[in-house]
A and B are shown apart, each in its own frame.
Chain A
Amino acid sequence: MEPNTRKITSLRVEHITKRFPGVLACNDIALSVAEGEVLALVGENGAGKTTLMNILMGLYRPDEGRILINGEEVVFRSPNDAFAAGLGMVHQQYMLVANMTVLENIALGFTQAWSPLKLNLDMVRARIDEVAAKYGLAVDPDAFVWQLSVGEQQRVELVKTLCLGARFLILDEPTSALTPQETDELILLLKRMTSELSIVFISHKLHEVKNLSDKVTILRHGSVVFEGSTADHSSGDIAALMTGREIHLPRNEAPTCEGNPALEIRGLKIRSDRGFLAVDGLDLSVCAGEIVGLAGVSGNGQRELAEAINGLRKVEGGEILLFGQELANRSPRAVIDAGMGYIPEERNTEGIVPSFSMKENFILKDADEAQFSARSFLRLKEIDRNAEALRTEFDIRSPDTKVAAGSLSGGNIQKVILAREISRKPRFLIAVYPTRGLDMGAAEFIHKRLLEKRLEGIGILLISEELEEILDLSDRVAVIFKGRIIDTLDRRSADSRKIGILMAGVHNDEAV
């Protein structure tokens, strides 16, 4: 295919409709982007944003509707057609092959460097250097992707897209895994790029929308509910239009409590799957009735810490005390019986059994208790009653409690897990990325519940990358870096800038 290098002066989509089995993902959507413009596409999970962008990139075929570039209709049968037209997309889940080098990942799409028996990697390398110099985007072409941090991987994605000749960029939640510093850098970079490119970006984060975009289009349930200029509307207006109601993320307003230590961790050492010490001499304490936010870029030992506390990973050294009771290297059952509640990182694979019904997932930890079984038979009526009560209380949207838990949306799955963990009346709760990928409505609900538990005197360890979440909920903020707590800040003295610097591994004293 002849790559044409004409500028994209306008891109319009009209009447795009796409159905998946049982779901109308996009319903008669129209949008347009002019040269050098930045369009923010916002909406809750499942609003159809990603589907629409995948249609633009030729990954999905629309059932109805058309795409026009510079006024001419184009039909994309595959991503190759979209590349040839000058479109490029950075997906939310990075589309990189982990066991190949950066160079090879880019060569995979750089067909000019292909001949049947030889791959001209020098040509790819030259192209990378050219793009890197032009946009100030340095990448190491010979690094393997699995060696790179999330931020670096995203830079590779951008370089890849630009190397392949994109003159129109689509970014799907580009900042969802970045530190605040990386986010700021990215926004500056994108602003510089708008002199040459048009950009569509999808985001949940309204301050980024305000900061970067010229126009905003809001999708709800697959339809456009609003479009307009960003400057004319406040973040609050946009949030309300997104969800169809006002959203108030709750904040931890209560005074810091002076409870007894509930969870105490001293000198903890844990190995990662790859054998190195992911947690290396970690000390942390959480009082009863206190929320401690553990901030950090993912991959700094958070997963290992949460797993070790819950008996899912071997502890190499140190101690974990829950109300004075040693939990290190105990079985998960023993940890549960000690009163630990756990909202795991991977909600679909660790939090629920996806093929089990919702009501079965509610009793996973208590199937042996007298409440739910008698003489080794399940008490089905009691299980049904429990499930109905929880479904109502936690506002879980599903036809009934017999549906497979895995078929629910992310927000509803998280509510199932939360309902199970909270209704068991734990003495302590560990919540790992509890709102990752959830829209604001679901996040609001979960935050409210966590704050309620805090007021009831439960200690909570909140592990998150979302600084706003941590600042909204925590009494104290501990920052984890390379398996240690680099500093602990009181909520009154913590702000996102300070935490962001600590998350990058720079101690406060040095940053001044």
Chain B
Amino acid sequence: MDFVVSIFALGIPFSVALLLASLGEMFNQRAGVFNLGCEGIMAMGAFLGMLVPYSVGQGGPVSGAYNILGLLLAMGIGALLGLFFGLVVVTFRAPQGIAGIGLQMFGVGAAGTLFRHFVGGTQSIPGIDRLPIPVLSEIPVLGPVLFSHNPLVYMTFLMVPAAWYVLFKTPWGLRVRASGTNPRAADSIGVKVNLVRFQALAVGGALAGLAGAYLSLCQVKMFSDEIIAGRGFIAVALVYFGHWRPLKIMGGALLFSLAQALQLAIQGQGIDFPYEFAVMLPYAMVIVVLAFSRESLLLGPTALGKPFNREMRT
């Protein structure tokens, strides 16, 4: 029982960075833009997120305000990079896959370089602490699993229904879905498709930036070149896995993270199992699940990856 509880208590916070990034990617893709640069935005978010608390806090405790400033900065750079990506793929209609790989390389590279310039070496930071919820966290089993986490964990899980509401119940969500599915139809009825795509990219970028900052400020409490470790790509895969729906995406993020917690537990418990295979487990699982989850073409953004040009005659 303790073993299971510990896997859940570990796996749930693991899922946060993935969940934030893939909710952001979901908005991008719902609007019709495929942003493979998620990983790069996360890296920049991770670096900027820890930069302020690190610089201010050298030699003393850091007040919470600087942590929050770090989170906001990470979201800001994320939104900016999202808009920059929009300039490349929406305005100039560059192929999105290639541009995304470029953004990924740029983000990861720039974050590493800036880190060495301004910080250098391995520096851990106090980061943002866990905030067990009084009373609720005392409940056996449920307490440690659900109510003994970092504040960002609670916030992220609250964002799942919020994202659902925004996507399906607000005029903006309606415009986003229409722009990614039938931009010509959206345009004919007065939706400014490219503007909506820029907005979705800003939102998606901000969430990816926040996801990166969560890693550096809450999960690892330091920055390194490998901090994102492919999570940006996993996030993109999870969007497909979740059929562009927040709840299913959450399911995918949890599944992946629990598998990761399981493999750590297997190693930690000293169970005799080759650790190379244990580490592979979550990634192999994503591939298998993706291979078997049939794409529902009728429900997804069918114009995904296609630039919109009103005067382009098909």
Name A residues whose Cβ lies closer than 8 Å to a Cβ of B: 20, 57, 59-60, 78-80, 83, 89, 91, 93-100, 104-105, 107-109, 111, 113-119, 144, 146, 160, 164
B178 engages A91 (CB within 8 Å): no
Query: Smallest Cβ distance from B195 to chain A, in angstroms?
Result: 11
Segment touching A, from B12-20, B70-78, B111-119, B169-177? B169-177
Contact of B170 among A100, A118, A146, A160 (CB under 8 A): A118
Q: Give 20 A-B pairs besides A95-B182, A98-B182, A119-B169 with Cβ atoms closer than 8 angstroms.
A: A20-B311, A78-B190, A79-B187, A80-B190, A91-B188, A94-B185, A95-B188, A97-B177, A97-B182, A99-B302, A105-B185, A107-B174, A108-B174, A111-B171, A113-B171, A118-B169, A119-B174, A144-B298, A160-B189, A164-B189
Q: How far is the CA of A350 from the CA of B165 in the complex (A)?
A: 41
Across the interface, name the chain A residue whose C-beta is closest to B313. A20
8 contacts between A and B (CB under 8 A): A78-B192, A95-B188, A97-B178, A97-B181, A98-B182, A108-B189, A109-B190, A115-B171
Q: Mark B277-310, 1 if CB is under 8 A from A, else 0.
A: 0000000000000000000001110100000001
- Which of A60, A94, A109 has most B Cβ within 10 Å? A109
Q: How far is the CA of A335 from the CA of B17 in the complex (A)?
A: 53
With A20-B313, A97-B177 in contact, is A109–B170 under 8 Å at CB?
Answer: no
Chain B residues with Cβ below 8 Å from A111 are 171, 190
Chain A residues with Cβ below 8 Å from B188 are 57, 59, 79, 89, 91, 95
Q: Identify which of residues 130-174 in chain B touch chain A, using a CB-to-CB cut-off of 8 Å.
A: 169-172, 174
Q: How far is the CA of A96 from the CA of B174 in the complex (A)?
A: 13
B170 engages A119 (CB within 8 Å): yes
Interface size class of B (residues with CB under 8 A): 20 to 34
Chain B residues with Cβ below 8 Å from A20 are 311, 313
A99 engages B190 (CB within 8 Å): no
Q: How far is the CA of A115 from the CA of B169 in the complex (A)?
A: 11
B171 engages A116 (CB within 8 Å): yes
Query: Smallest Cβ distance from B99 to chain A, in angstroms?
Result: 22
B299 engages A99 (CB within 8 Å): yes
Chain A residues with Cβ below 8 Å from B299 are 99
Chain A residues with Cβ below 8 Å from B93 are none
Query: Smallest Cβ distance from A47 to chain B, in angstroms?
Result: 14
Query: Smallest Cβ distance from A25 to chain B, in angstroms?
Result: 9
Q: How far is the CA of A92 from the CA of B232 in the complex (A)?
A: 41
A59 engages B300 (CB within 8 Å): no
Q: Please list the 4 inter-chain residue pairs (A to B) with the smallest Cβ-Cβ separation, ordered nearest first.
A: A95-B185, A109-B189, A114-B171, A80-B190
Contact of B311 among A60, A79, A93, A113 (CB under 8 A): A60
Q: How far is the CA of A160 from the CA of B186 in the complex (A)?
A: 13
Chain A residues with Cβ below 8 Å from B298 are 98-99, 144, 146
Across the interface, name the chain A residue whose C-beta is closest to B296. A99
Q: How far is the CA of A100 from the CA of B168 in the complex (A)?
A: 10
Q: Identify which of residues 187-213 in chain B touch chain A, using a CB-to-CB cut-off of 8 Å.
A: 187-192
Across the interface, name the chain B residue whose C-beta is closest to A119. B171
B310 engages A60 (CB within 8 Å): yes
Across the interface, name the chain A residue whose C-beta is closest to B312. A20
Query: Smallest Cβ distance from A249 to chain B, in angstroms?
Result: 28
Q: How far is the CA of A117 from the CA of B166 in the complex (A)?
A: 8
B174 engages A95 (CB within 8 Å): no
Chain A residues with Cβ below 8 Å from B313 are 20
Chain A residues with Cβ below 8 Å from B310 are 59-60
Across the interface, name the chain B residue whose C-beta is closest to A60. B311
Q: How far is the CA of A160 from the CA of B188 in the complex (A)?
A: 12
- B248 proximal to A (CB < 8 A): no
- B221 proximal to A (CB < 8 A): no
B186 engages A108 (CB within 8 Å): yes
Chain A residues with Cβ below 8 Å from B190 are 78-80, 83, 109, 111
Q: How far is the CA of A465 from the CA of B302 in the complex (A)?
A: 27
Chain A residues with Cβ below 8 Å from B174 are 100, 104, 107-108, 119
Q: How far is the CA of A266 from the CA of B148 in the complex (A)?
A: 67
Query: Smallest Cβ distance from A434 to chain B, in angstroms?
Result: 21
Across the interface, name the chain A residue whose C-beta is closest to B302. A98
Q: How far is the CA of A396 from the CA of B175 in the complex (A)?
A: 43
Chain A residues with Cβ below 8 Å from B177 are 97, 99-100
With A57-B188, A60-B310, A79-B187 in contact, is A108–B170 under 8 Å at CB?
Answer: no
B175 engages A108 (CB within 8 Å): yes
Chain B residues with Cβ below 8 Å from A105 are 185
Query: Smallest Cβ distance from B63 to chain A, in angstroms?
Result: 33
B170 engages A79 (CB within 8 Å): no
Q: How far is the CA of A286 from the CA of B169 in the complex (A)?
A: 54
A99 engages B171 (CB within 8 Å): no
Q: How far is the CA of A99 from the CA of B311 in the complex (A)?
A: 24
Q: How far is the CA of A425 from the CA of B188 in the complex (A)?
A: 46
Chain B residues with Cβ below 8 Å from A98 are 181-182, 298, 302
Chain B residues with Cβ below 8 Å from A79 are 187-190
Query: Smallest Cβ distance from B120 to chain A, in angstroms?
Result: 45
With A60-B310, A109-B190, A146-B298 in contact, is A96–B171 under 8 Å at CB?
Answer: no
B187 engages A96 (CB within 8 Å): no
Q: How far is the CA of A100 from the CA of B173 in the complex (A)?
A: 11
Chain B residues with Cβ below 8 Å from A109 are 189-191
B181 engages A99 (CB within 8 Å): yes
Query: Smallest Cβ distance from B171 to chain A, in angstroms?
Result: 4
B187 engages A59 (CB within 8 Å): yes
Contact of B189 among A95, A114, A119 (CB under 8 A): A95
Query: Smallest Cβ distance from A169 to chain B, in angstroms?
Result: 14
Query: Smallest Cβ distance from B18 to chain A, in angstroms?
Result: 25
B182 engages A117 (CB within 8 Å): no
Q: How far is the CA of A109 from the CA of B187 in the complex (A)?
A: 10
- Which of B174, B177, B187 has most A Cβ within 10 Å? B174
Across the interface, name the chain B residue whose C-beta is closest to A83. B190
Chain A residues with Cβ below 8 Å from B186 are 97, 108
Across the interface, name the chain B residue whose C-beta is closest to A113. B171
Chain B residues with Cβ below 8 Å from A115 are 171
Query: Smallest Cβ distance from B164 to chain A, in angstroms?
Result: 14
Q: How far is the CA of A107 from the CA of B175 in the complex (A)?
A: 10
Query: Smallest Cβ distance from B286 to chain A, in angstroms?
Result: 25
Query: Smallest Cβ distance from A459 to chain B, in angstroms?
Result: 35
Contact of A108 among B178, B300, B302, B311 (CB under 8 A): B178
Q: How far is the CA of A93 from the CA of B191 in the complex (A)?
A: 18
- Which of A94, A99, A119 has most B Cβ within 10 Å? A99
Query: Smallest Cβ distance from A383 to chain B, in angstroms?
Result: 29
Chain A residues with Cβ below 8 Å from B169 are 118-119
Query: Smallest Cβ distance from B26 to chain A, in angstroms?
Result: 14
Across the interface, name the chain A residue whose C-beta is closest to B177. A100
Chain A residues with Cβ below 8 Å from B192 are 78
Contact of A97 among B170, B185, B311 (CB under 8 A): B185
Q: How far is the CA of A181 from the CA of B2 in the complex (A)?
A: 69
Q: How far is the CA of A272 from the CA of B175 in the complex (A)?
A: 31
Query: Smallest Cβ distance from B166 to chain A, in angstroms?
Result: 9
Chain B residues with Cβ below 8 Å from A93 are 184
A100 engages B187 (CB within 8 Å): no
Q: How far is the CA of A172 from the CA of B192 in the complex (A)?
A: 23
